[in-house]
Structure 1
Amino acid sequence: MAIDTTPNPSPLAAPRLSTRDKLVLFVLCAAQFMVALDFSVLNVALPALGADLGMSRWALQWAVTAFALPSGGFLLLFGRIGDLYGRRRLFLSGLALFGAASLLAAFAWDPASFLAGRALQGIGAAAIVPTGMSLLTTTFPEGPARDRALGISGTLLSLGFTVGMVAGGVMTDVLGWRSTMGVLALFALIVLPLAPGLLPESRTPERPRLDVPGAVTVTGGLLSVIYALSTAADRGFGHLDVIATLGAGLALLSLFVLVESRTEAPLVSLPMLRRRTVAWGNLAGLVTFSMMSTLVFVLTLYFEETLDLSAFRTGLIFGVAGVLSAVAGAYASKVIGRFGARRTLVGSLVGQGVLTGVLLGVNADVWSVWLATVAVSLACVCHLGVIVSYGLTVTSGVPNEEQGLATGLVTSTQQVGITVGIPLLGVLATTSSDLLTGLHTVLVVETTIVLAAAVLVALGLRSRRTNAKAVPEAAEVEALDAR
């Protein structure tokens, strides 16, 4: 039975951050924004890129996959390396690599050099994201200060994706596709000189050996699964290459679980994965990212092919959603302080699901653009609520020495969610004889999945006191409600 704890009024007071805290937050959030921008800024530039470098339509999908493979595959490994050997050191190394790789991609002279730059960007992002998040959660203590910091970080993550869609079209038209990579190098150049003097070094007090078998199996498994799902978007799930790599990936991930259950210093603590806050929080994150990335993808097709809108006007629609998300992010910590992280998480999932269902009202009439704009904008606001509250849910109560692991799980969930949604559901729209019918099919499936996830998360995060072993976890959930 759920326990309804009345929130303490103190969390409602907005925490006051010192000047140094604000600068630390700026550096960490700017780096996260840069990585989020990279997810979308290149999308509308792909045709111009292909024409310039002589890349076929099939090869162009590797402009995205070359980044997604290493950024998703190495997240857990780099998060743990940061825990053991220094988060700031790895963060700075990743930032420097990301900036250099962006320059390589911007000045690429052929497809191979461009894809090499994108792959190196992905490796840099895999180092930046988990270490940046763990530096944030270890710098700002649990409570209103961390709530506010995570709210700002989540806002910029959502805003970066949206800004990238708008800015990518403008920069490609005015400056050419290379500017979309150049702006990322500029971000790194601004942040890198500030970071060393502001960020504290942070690592575990002990130095256990790195779990090499675990690192090999989980990294290989994630790389194989992400490759298979990304390739399936172009070739279909029946292709031998997709079947083989997907099977190999699932086998490696199964072997990883076996390895982790038998090693003394595991890369991933299985007891942590059994924490209800970690398990159900990450489920919420996986669902919200996979469903929202798919929604943006299918609505982009709908706007440009069914309603015949330009890429720039489509970008502006998502720009409205981004602005509203930014405004919502400014109040996220207050909402969590008032209602608790668990209630905010479940309520935001319900809102995202319901508003996705509202989009079933769109048709080929050009006036549907107004319904779509309002519905997707409000859905993005709810999506932002899920981002902030699920990150808080997963990392709350985790010891500082394991924050890199916890945030690595958070960011792995984000990357996997962004990667798997479009191959799994987008194909329903792209293979349909009528795009509008395909869109409605995707919307029905998405609405069902998001609302089902909301129910499961609500049930999974209920406070239970049925036995002594459940008491610590019940206390964690109650603490989330009281935040």
Structure 2
Amino acid sequence: MTTTLTPPVEGLRSTHRWWALGVLALAQFLVVLDASIVNIALPVLGEQLEMDTVALAWVITAYVLAFGGLLLLGGRLADRYGHRRVFVIGVAGFVAASALAGLSVSSEMLLAARALQGVGAALLAPAALALVTQLFPKPGDRAKALGIWGGVAGIGSAAGVLLGGVLTSAFGWQSVFFVNVPVGVVVIVAIPFLVSRDIPGLRAKLDVPGAVTITGALVAAVGALSAVEQVGFVHPLTLGLAIAALGLGVAFVTIERRSPEPLVPLGIFRNRNLTVGNVVILLVGGAMVGLFFALSVFMQAVLGYDALTAGLTQLPLAGALVVAAGVAPTLLTRLGAPRSLAGGLVVLATGLVWLALAPSTADFVAHLLGPSIVIGAGLGVAFIAATSLAVDGVQGGEAGLAGGLVNTSQQIGGALGLAVMATVAASRTDALLQSGTSSADAMTGGFSLLFFGAAVIALVAAGVATLGRR
């Protein structure tokens, strides 16, 4: 007989659930913020710690590997041992690792701290989303809650670029890590007063073989995608990691089919909404990570913006995303999640095509402001609708797993999209340079192709949402 941790009654975990949502969103804000705030500090950090370009890439990769590789395990641990408990442990680990990163005096110490940050994020992110689904079981309330959740994510993306530049200039690279500490402490102190204690229950035996194989598969997959950016598609390292990811993935599926208490019950994918939502999140994650990377480089390398100006020019996109996230709950109530999702993705694709037409001499107001607002609006609606689908119909005992799947899809999609689209854009740029095109026009041509590719991905995702509804 399979036994699981009995979850608290959904919707009764807090008498102040909107305040609780604010605290949970604050923790998610840290995770989103950390994905972008470190990038701005890398040049200064590398100079002071004597890290070359390859070592600096590992500052990002160490975090991504741990975060992406452990998300499914983190979500399942939250289901088994309590969502609030695992959430608090994850935040505490993230805060401690952030402090350690800020205190780093060597590259080895920093890379270890970054990996520990990823572990903490992998515990807190799925547990936080699971708590949101339990706090807001009714579709209307959940849509509003996810709208706030998406708005905070949008603010975090923009704030990372801005804060990274300001903090690094004023207080040094260490401050981009230390800023996580006071915010995390507030979350740890507040959450026990706002969310009820996890109800103890019988704990099933953890599926260790499943945990080892899926973690290994995800780490190898993310590692392979990261290696593409550094050494290319056909390098032995990339191919070896890809083969390892495939082999471990097959082993994981075999283990889960035979396990009496699987880490990831494969039957969860019979939930069509969950499956469609995760596929769309994977696709949109790929399009968006490639977009933000290319847009930042385009503004600085082609248009000559400094880092702070490039960050400021992304505020309209973030603002439109926040506004759209606020409107999304009304759209979901009136049109349903699948239609809202497809519509948001079409709007997103339209903005990306518009952006792809920007010339190498682009003026921000004339060429970038309009598409930025359209992209933000489409992305805000699409993200909320896809997340709503991905947690639809999920029971409390699998809420953490659903949260882990959402975050894993986003991470894998982002890594895949960046690896593929950055390679395609670079190839296009090289071809234009060889034909005698100026450097600025060649880079613009590469980025234009990347933006068109992201638009195609968004339209494919819209097709998946439409076909999934039918």
- Fold shared by both chains (TM-score > 0.5): yes
389, 393, 404: which one aligns with 1:393: 389
427, 442, 449: which one aligns with 1:441: 449
The structural deviation recorded for 1:19 is 7.2
- Within 5 Å, give how 1:388-467 maps onto structure 2: 388-431=384-427, 432-433=429-430, 434-462=442-470
Does 2:218 correspond to 1:222?
yes
Say if 1:293 and 1:210 are closer, same or farther in 2 by CA, change over 3 A: same
1:72 corresponds to which residue? 68
Measure the CA separation in 2 of the matches of 1:420 and 1:221: 14
Assess if the C-alpha contact under 8 Å between 1:63 and 1:115 holds in 2. yes
1:159 corresponds to which residue? 155
1:329 corresponds to which residue? 325
Does 2:44 correspond to 1:41?
no
The structural deviation recorded for 1:206 is 5.0
Does 2:49 correspond to 1:53?
yes
Q: Provide Cα deviations, 1:130-181, integer angstroms capped at 9, x if missing partner.
A: 0011011112112222111111111111221111011111111121111111
Q: SS at 1:237's partner residue?
A: coil
Assess if the C-alpha contact under 8 Å between 1:172 and 1:179 holds in 2. yes
The structural deviation recorded for 1:461 is 1.8
The structural deviation recorded for 1:443 is 2.1
Assess if the C-alpha contact under 8 Å between 1:83 and 1:202 holds in 2. no
2:11 corresponds to which residue? none
The structural deviation recorded for 1:197 is 2.2
Instruction: Read off the aligned partner of 1:452 and give its amino acid letter.
Output: V
Measure the CA separation in 1 of the matches of 2:160 and 2:198: 31
Q: Provide Cα deviations, 1:53-78, integer angstroms capped at 9, x if missing partner.
A: 11001111111111101111111111
285, 292, 308: which one aligns with 1:289: 285
Q: SS at 1:41's partner residue?
A: helix
- Within 5 Å, give how 1:333-412 maps onto structure 2: 333-367=329-363, 370-412=366-408
1:105 corresponds to which residue? 101
Higher mean C-alpha deviation, range 76-85 or range 372-381 = 372-381
Does 2:197 correspond to 1:189?
no
2:195 corresponds to which residue? 199
Higher mean C-alpha deviation, range 219-228 or range 358-367 = 358-367
Assess if the C-alpha contact under 8 Å between 1:362 and 1:368 holds in 2. no
Measure the CA separation in 1 of the matches of 2:199 and 2:291: 38
Assess if the C-alpha contact under 8 Å between 1:217 and 1:252 holds in 2. yes
Unmatched tracts of structure 2, length 5 or more: 1-13, 431-441
Say if 1:369 and 1:246 are closer, same or farther in 2 by CA, change over 3 A: farther
Say if 1:202 and 1:273 are closer, same or farther in 2 by CA, change over 3 A: farther
Measure the CA separation in 1 of the matches of 2:72 and 2:389: 18
Unmatched tracts of structure 1, length 5 or more: 1-17, 463-483
Measure the CA separation in 2 of the matches of 1:332 and 1:445: 26
Instruction: Read off the aligned partner of 2:452 and give its amino acid letter.
Output: V
Q: SS at 2:264's partner residue?
A: coil
Measure the CA separation in 1 of the matches of 2:22 and 2:81: 24
Measure the CA separation in 1 of the matches of 2:167 and 2:282: 31
Say if 1:203 and 1:390 are closer, same or farther in 2 by CA, change over 3 A: farther
Identity over aligned residues, as a percent?
36
2:435 corresponds to which residue? none
59, 62, 65: which one aligns with 1:63: 59
Instruction: Read off the aligned partner of 1:359 and give its amino acid letter.
Output: L
The structural deviation recorded for 1:299 is 1.4
TM-score, normalised by the number of residues in structure 1: 0.89
1:84 corresponds to which residue? 80
Instruction: Read off the aligned partner of 2:204 and give its amino acid letter.
Output: P
Say if 1:461 and 1:338 are closer, same or farther in 2 by CA, change over 3 A: same
Higher mean C-alpha deviation, range 354-363 or range 216-225 = 354-363
Q: Provide Cα deviations, 1:311-335, integer angstroms capped at 9, x if missing partner.
A: 1111011122112211222222122
Assess if the C-alpha contact under 8 Å between 2:362 and 2:368 holds in 1. no
The structural deviation recorded for 1:444 is 2.4
Measure the CA separation in 1 of the matches of 2:151 and 2:247: 36
Aligned residue-pair number: 447
Measure the CA separation in 2 of the matches of 1:79 and 1:336: 26
Instruction: Read off the aligned partner of 2:150 and give its amino acid letter.
Output: G
